C-alpha cells in the first residue's frame, strides 16, 4: 500500500521540485505535461482509506493515459468508464474487464456493440443506463447481463454549471420513473445497482448540496429494494483546491457526511473519484517567448495555449502559476496567454507572478485532471508530450505529436 506519511492532502506548486521541473523542460521541451504517478497512487489510496467499507473506482475520463491507469490499478483501484475507448484503454492498461463499469450516456451504436461483445466474454462487466432507450438497444444486441440504473436526482452541484450533471436532463432516469424502470430491467436483465453523479469539483463547503443528492439516491435504493442490489454508486465529483488560499477537501468530514446521507443500506456503497485522484498530480511546463508592456497590463506570451489546456477558456477555470526559473524575483501583475488567435487563449489576467523574462519556464498547476484529455489541435498545433514520474524516474508516457500526426488522416 502507498505510504501516506509524506503525502499532504493537497500538493501545491511550491511542493514540486522546481529544479527538476526546469530540467524536464530542458530535456523534453515545452509545452510539456508532467504526471506524477506516485502522487496518483497516494491520492487514490488516501481516498480509499477514508471509505474502508466502500468500493472506490477511478473515473477514467479525468485522465485516461496509460501511465495513470496503470498507477491506479497498481494501487488496487478498479475503473469506471464513460465510453468504449475508455473501456479498451483500461483493458490495455491491465484492468480486468469483469471489474469494469461502463456508464452509457446517449451511447453511439458502436459503443453498445463493443460493450455487448465485451460482456459476452466477460459477464462481470456492468453497464449503467441513463435512458430506457439504452436498455432496449442492449436487448436488441442480445445483452441480458448486469445493469445499473443512473438516477437523475434533480440536484446539481460543482464548480460550474456545465458540470452540474445531477440536475441536467441529459443524465439519468427522471427520479420518480426509477421504480418503473427497475421493474423493466428485472424482467430481462440482472439489476445490480443504482448510480448517480451530482456534479464535479465539490469542496468541503459544497458538501451539503452534494449530500442532498446522495440522500435521494439512498432513498430510491430502499424504494426499489436495496437488499436485492449489489451496490449503490453515488458517483464522484470530489474536488481539489485550485486557488492557493482554498482549503483541501476534508476527507474525514466528507466520508461521515456521505455515509449519513446515503443512510442504512444492505447494498455496498460505491464512489467514483476522478479529479481528486489526478488533478494535483499533474502540471504543464511552458516557456515564455514574449514580454509586451501594454497600457493596462504586462502581457506574457507562452508556448502553451488553449489547445494545451482548455479549462480556462471553457469554464473560466483558475489554475495556479509559478515562475519555475526564478521564483524569487519581484512580482508583477501579468496577463499570461498563448499563441492562439482568440481572446479566450489566456491562462491568467493580472496575475501576480515572479517577473517573467523571455526563456523562463512557467508551471501551470492542477492540470492532471481534464487537461490532456481535452487537449486539441486548434491552429494545427501538435499535442504536447507527457512525461510520467514514478519511483524517482522520468519517462515519456506520450511522445510529442508532429505536424504529420496532425495531418495523417487527410486524404
For 157, the 3-state DSSP assignment is strand
Based on the residue annotation, tell me whether 37 is a catalytic residue of this protein. no
* The three three-digit cell numbers of residue 99, written as one number: 471489474
Is 99 known to sit in a ligand binding site? no
User: Could you give the CA distance from residue 106 to residue 139 in angstroms, rounded to a whole number?
Assistant: 16
Is 275 known to sit in a ligand binding site? yes
Is 318 known to sit in a ligand binding site? no
Residue 148 near residue 194, CB atoms below 8 Å: yes
For 36, the 3-state DSSP assignment is strand
Instruction: Check 37, 81, 211, 341 and give the catalytic one.
Output: 341
Among 371, 397, 400, which residue's Cα sits nearest to residue 385?
400
> At 75, phi and psi to the nearest 5?
-80, 0
94 phi-psi bin (left φ>0, alpha ψ -120 to 50, beta other)? left
Residue 384 near residue 375, CB atoms below 8 Å: yes
Residue 150 near residue 181, CB atoms below 8 Å: no
DSSP string computed for 308-360: T--HHHHH-----EEESS-TTSPEEEEEEE-SSSSTT-EEEEEEEEE---TT-
Torsion angle defined by CA atoms of residues 224, 227, 233 and 234, in that order, rounded to the nearest 10 degrees: 70
**Packing angle of the helix pair 251-262, 207-224 (nearest 10 deg):** 30
Gap between the terminal Cα atoms of the chain: 50
The DSSP call for residue 162 is: G
**Packing angle of the helix pair 84-92, 66-74 (nearest 10 deg):** 60
CB under 8 Å to 398, separation ≥6 — which residues? 33, 65, 372, 383, 385, 386
Is 201 known to sit in a ligand binding site? no
* The three three-digit cell numbers of residue 406, written as one number: 496532425
Element (H, E) at 387: strand 385-390
**HSE, side-chain direction, 13 A CA sphere, residue 229:** 27
The answer to whether the peptide bond before residue 31 is cis (omega within 30 degrees of 0) is yes
Is 218 known to sit in a ligand binding site? no
Indicate which residues carry an active-site annotation: 341
Residues making up the annotated binding site are 237, 272-275, 311, 370
- Annotated binding residues for substrate, written as ranges, equal 275, 311, 370
Known binding residues for pyridoxal 5'-phosphate: 237, 272-275, 370
Amino acid at each position: 500500500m502507498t505510504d501516506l506519511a509524506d503525502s499532504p492532502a493537497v500538493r501545491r506548486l511550491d511542493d514540486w521540485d522546481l529544479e527538476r521541473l526546469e530540467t524536464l523542460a530542458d530535456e523534453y521541451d515545452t509545452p510539456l505535461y508532467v504526471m506524477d504517478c506516485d502522487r496518483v497512487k497516494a491520492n487514490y489510496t488516501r481516498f480509499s482509506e477514508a471509505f474502508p467499507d466502500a468500493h472506490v473506482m477511478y473515473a477514467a475520463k479525468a485522465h485516461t493515459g496509460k501511465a495513470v491507469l496503470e498507477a491506479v490499478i497498481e494501487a488496487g483501484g478498479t475503473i469506471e468508464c464513460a465510453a468504449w475507448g475508455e473501456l479498451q484503454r483500461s483493458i490495455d492498461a491491465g484492468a480486468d474487464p469483469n471489474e469494469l463499469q461502463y456508464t452509457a450516456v446517449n451511447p453511439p451504436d458502436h459503443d453498445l456493440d463493443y460493450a455487448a461483445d465485451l460482456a459476452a466474454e466477460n459477464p462481470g462487466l456492468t453497464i449503467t443506463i441513463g435512458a430506457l432507450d439504452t436498455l432496449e438497444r442492449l436487448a436488441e444486441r442480445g445483452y441480458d447481463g448486469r445493469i445499473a440504473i443512473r438516477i437523475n436526482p434533480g440536484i446539481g452541484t460543482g464548480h460550474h454549471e456545465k458540470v452540474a450533471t445531477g440536475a441536467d436532463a441529459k443524465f439519468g432516469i427522471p427520479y420518480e420513473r426509477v421504480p418503473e424502470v427497475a421493474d423493466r430491467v428485472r424482467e430481462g436483465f440482472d439489476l445490480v445497482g443504482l448510480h448517480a453523479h451530482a456534479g464535479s469539483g465539490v469542496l468541503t463547503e459544497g458538501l451539503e448540496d452534494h449530500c442532498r443528492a446522495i440522500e435521494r439516491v439512498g432513498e430510491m435504493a430502499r424504494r426499489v429494494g436495496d437488499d436485492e442490489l449489489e451496490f449503490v454508486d453515488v458517483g464522484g465529483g470530489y474536488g481539489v483546491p485550485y486557488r492557493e488560499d482554498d482549503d483541501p477537501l476534508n476527507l474525514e468530514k466528507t466520508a461521515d457526511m456521505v455515509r449519513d446521507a446515503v443512510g442504512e443500506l444492505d447494498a455496498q456503497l460505491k464512489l467514483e473519484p476522478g479529479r481528486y485522484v489526478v488533478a494535483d498530480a499533474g502540471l504543464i511546463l511552458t516557456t515564455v517567448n514574449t514580454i509586451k508592456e501594454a497600457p493596462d497590463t504586462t502581457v506574457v506570451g507562452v508556448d502553451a495555449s488553449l489547445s494545451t489546456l482548455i479549462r480556462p477558456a471553457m469554464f473560466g477555470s483558475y489554475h495556479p502559476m509559478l515562475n519555475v526559473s526564478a521564483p524569487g524575483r519581484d512580482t508583477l501583475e501579468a496577463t499570461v496567454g498563448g499563441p492562439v488567435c482568440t481572446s479566450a487563449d489566456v491562462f491568467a489576467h493580472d496575475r501576480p507572478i515572479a517577473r517573467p523574462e523571455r526563456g523562463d519556464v512557467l508551471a501551470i498547476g492542477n492540470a492532471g485532471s481534464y487537461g490532456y484529455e481535452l487537449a486539441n489541435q486548434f491552429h494545427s498545433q501538435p499535442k504536447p508530450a507527457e512525461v510520467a514520474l514514478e519511483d524517482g524516474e522520468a519517462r515519456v508516457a506520450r511522445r510529442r505529436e508532429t505536424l504529420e500526426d496532425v495531418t495523417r488522416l487527410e486524404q
